Amino acid sequence: MTRTDVPSFSSRIRRLTAAATCALALAVALPATASTGPASPYASDELLVQFRSGTQRSDRARLARQEGAEVERDLTGQGLVKIRLRPGDSVERAIDRWSRRPEVEYATVNLRGHAFFVPNDSVIATVDLAWNLRSVHAFDAWDIQTGDPSVILAIIDSGVAHADREVPDYEKANLWPGVTMYRQSPELPGPFLPGYDFIHDDPYADDDFGHGTQVATIAAGAANNVAGSAGIAFGVAIMPIKVLDFQGDSDISYFVQGIRFAGDHHADVANMSFGFPPLTYFRDVLQLPPNVLANMFRPLKEAVQYAQRQGVILVAAAGNFDRDEVSLPAAYPGVIAVGATGFDDHRTSYSSYGRELDFVAPGGDVTELNGDGVQDQLFNLSIKPNRSEGSRAKPDSFGVFPFFGTSAASPHVAGAVALLLSKGYTSQGAIERTLRDTAIIPAGRANGLNLEYGNGLIQLDAAVRRTPPGPPRAGAITTQAARLVSPNPARAGAALSFRLENAGKVRLRVFDVRGALVRTIEDRVMPAGESVARWDGTRADGARAPAGIYVFRLETPEGVQSRKVAIVK
């Protein structure tokens, strides 16, 4: 409830966003098409090979040498590797040779993928910063629910401006000349969890393009801080995962690693504002041969399924191709596919659609419908992005920049998922039902599932007013039975309360976000009734645990339950 003598959160944010003015230097333009893409849709000198279970690393290297090739990188712990072909070898012929080997389950191309936007330029003075937030009724939603730092949102993208760090020498050539530092965005105060840069193969997922910082800010940017705009689920923990390079390009091998990383490191929800042209483009336009098409997307599909088995809710952009076919990975079962709407809440000129579409959210367009004299894009405080070969990113320089595409729509829904997780929802099914039941279809369109709008435009205020589903099935520990009774985030440990119906063996342990055991709190028979267990924030060796997200895992004869807590400095 909001006190009558204190302005509501929504009114404070409205005043801040209405008052913001700035000079802009980037506009995100129309979607990439076949004519703007690379000459080949896949790497001409690489192959992805999935070896059968039991094939050792030494055997994989030996088989590659027999082919005159080499193993460039292990992509998964289940035998998927990237192979560098010998000079002059044909990808198509290599697929057939490798596929015939008894040790190989399948071989396929290393398909190229992209962020779903293309930049151009625009300079303006005054803009309507908040139309996208009003479209989904975010202001009123924040009076009821904001992000919980124990919810982990993975941003699988071009990295995030998440820390101050010196630019390594091997990354300087891809930035504006003279840039020596990456800087943390003032719109992204954290908490942040350890991520990974799969492009440079290091643990620092810095943004050298600008796309990932924009996406993260839409999903979880700071509110009530005057600068820029505000993110849908501000306050949640962000896990930056870099799979796009300094130009927004990538290949399927990096996507596979990034998605699996989110699963391995306990992300609750992951946003994917990238993908590939529709399947029909490869088949009908490029007319790729059957042996290339057969397993082309299999590594991506298996990575999606792997992350889903780990409990990650995957949200993805539908694509910027204005076709009745949702792009991959958004079209895979269980992935929440998001199309884009403009200022008038109607589908944008570029947004892909079709039967796999789940929801739409603001993505912006080249229209000008709100009367401010500027194209109706989305505006966020971000690093100066890469616009062209001669205008590369400045990760040490911040301004408010426009952005549009299904890349911008997807993090609205990822933020909505994180907001409902913060409210106490525990399953993707319940979250989707709530978003579906409260979404709207623009005037003049039939209600219900719609090929252009999916289940409709999300409405956050109505969604967060819903009560999460009741307690889980019999035998499980309910949310009320296992709950944090200390502040979250906390500075020095946390306390967990739980109830046993009958006396029994209790095992309570604390793990870090990577799954490593930090400390065992209880491992004994305990009486029936309410108990409180306390963790003082130290590891088993007595040293202070660093800042980050930690997981209480409670095991009793009545069930198993986990609770997350953020420890801050």
Each residue's pLDDT tens digit, 11-62: 444 433 333 322 222 222 223 333 334 468 888 899 999 999 889 999 999 9
Instruction: Please state, in angstroms and rounded to a whole number, the distance separating the CA atoms of residues 421 and 266.
Output: 14
Q: How many residues does the chain have?
A: 569
Residues of the chain with CATH 2.60.40.4070: 482-567
Q: Tell whether the model's pLDDT for residue 167 goes beyond 90.
A: yes
Helix (H) or strand (E) holding 383: strand 378-384
Q: What is the pTM of this model?
A: 0.79
Between 48 and 446, the more confident residue is 48
**Predicted pLDDT of residue 116:** 67
Instruction: Please state, in angstroms and rounded to a whole number, the distance separating the CA atoms of residues 330 and 255.
Output: 13
Instruction: Please state, in angstroms and rounded to a whole number, the distance separating the CA atoms of residues 277 and 454.
Output: 19
- Contact of 401 with 174, CB cutoff 8 Å: no
CATH class of 482-567: mainly beta
Per-residue confidence at 253, pLDDT binned at 50, 70, 90?
A: very high
Instruction: Please state, in angstroms and rounded to a whole number, the distance separating the CA atoms of residues 558 and 535.
Output: 22
* Range from 124-133, 188-197, 470-479, 484-493 carrying the lowest mean pLDDT: 470-479
For domain 44-108, say whether CATH 2.60.40.10 is its number: no
* Closest of 295, 286, 379, 235 to residue 110, by C-alpha: 295
**Predicted pLDDT of residue 317:** 96
Read off the pLDDT of residues 207-248 as tens digits, 9 standing for 90 and up: 999 999 999 999 998 875 545 567 899 999 999 999 999 998
Strands 336-341 and 359-362: what pairing? parallel
* Closest of 347, 405, 451 to residue 214, by C-alpha: 405
Q: Tell whether the model's pLDDT for residue 478 goes beyond 50.
A: no
* Closest of 407, 453, 415 to residue 29, by C-alpha: 407
Q: Tell whether the model's pLDDT for residue 542 goes beyond 70.
A: yes
Mean per-residue pLDDT for 459-484? Answer: 67
Between 228 and 434, the more confident residue is 434
**Predicted pLDDT of residue 215:** 95
Residues of the chain with CATH 3.30.70.80: 44-108
- Contact of 554 with 562, CB cutoff 8 Å: yes
One CATH from 3.40.50.460, 3.40.50.200, 3.30.420.40, 3.40.50.720 for 9-33+115-465 = 3.40.50.200
Between 450 and 2, the more confident residue is 450
* Range from 17-31, 94-108, 230-244, 364-378 carrying the lowest mean pLDDT: 17-31
Structure tokens at 376: 């109706």
Residues of the chain with CATH 3.40.50.200: 9-33+115-465
Instruction: Please state, in angstroms and rounded to a whole number, the distance separating the CA atoms of residues 147 and 423.
Output: 8
Residue 528, Cβ density class (10 Å: 0-12 exposed, 13-18 middle, ≥19 buried): exposed
Q: Tell whether the model's pLDDT for residue 420 goes beyond 90.
A: yes
* Closest of 153, 312, 137 to residue 219, by C-alpha: 153
Q: How far apart are the first and last CA of the chain?
A: 30
Strands 504-512 and 517-526: what pairing? antiparallel
